[in-house]
Amino acid sequence: MSLESIISEIDEKKKAQINSIQKEIDELVESRSQQLKKETDSLAEAFSSRKVAYANSVERSRRDLAVLEAARILTDARSKLIDDATSLVSEYLSNLRKRSVHRKILEMSIRLVEFQFPEGATVFAPEQDIEALKKFTADTRIKFEKGDMPYGILAASSDGKRELDLTFTQIWKAARDNIALALEAGIGE
């Protein structure tokens, strides 16, 4: 074998080895490239999911804050309406004895006591109303005593087991509750 054929054979083996190494490198690069692409795609997908979840969370938080603010505004408006109504009623009540309706209220109150307590009752009323109340009944089973309320009456059955609260405080409390319920029903529609 000649020197040239040996050199040629070495060159061929070298080229074959280089091609083989190049092929391995290309396969490794391609494999690593595909792996990096998968990892990048996975990271991009995870980032996108997190970004969407964060955006949804922020939007949900904004909605929750808006709902809380709307509830606060409605509560404030409801309270103002109730306060305004309370103010009007208080103003009306402060001058009630001067109005003609006061006499009618006293008469209706005594009629209700006579109906509720046919066996007799004790009526507690403001001192300035007792004489007017007595004029509306001839029933001797109804007794009158001074009460510590500004308006209205409180009646107790003669046996003390039942009572009828027609004080304006109680009536106004019931009216206030009804106003609040009506407002809530109106707001809910």
pLDDT tens, position by position, 9-58: 888 888 889 888 899 998 989 999 899 899 988 988 888 888 888 888 99
pLDDT of residue 188: 56
Q: Are 154 and 163 in contact (CB under 8 A)?
A: yes
pLDDT of residue 69: 94
pLDDT of residue 67: 92
Q: In sequence order, which residues have a C-beta less than 8 Å from that of residue 126 and are 6 or more positions away?
A: 146, 147, 149, 150, 151
pLDDT of residue 187: 61
The CA angle 183-184-189, to the nearest 5 degrees, is: 100
98-188: what fold? hypothetical protein PF0899 fold (3.30.2320)
What is the value of pTM for the model shown? 0.51
pLDDT of residue 5: 84
Q: In sequence order, which residues have a C-beta less than 8 Å from that of residue 159 and are 6 or more positions away?
A: 119
Which is more confidently placed, 121 or 98?
121
Q: Are 147 and 164 in contact (CB under 8 A)?
A: no
Q: Are 155 and 123 in contact (CB under 8 A)?
A: yes
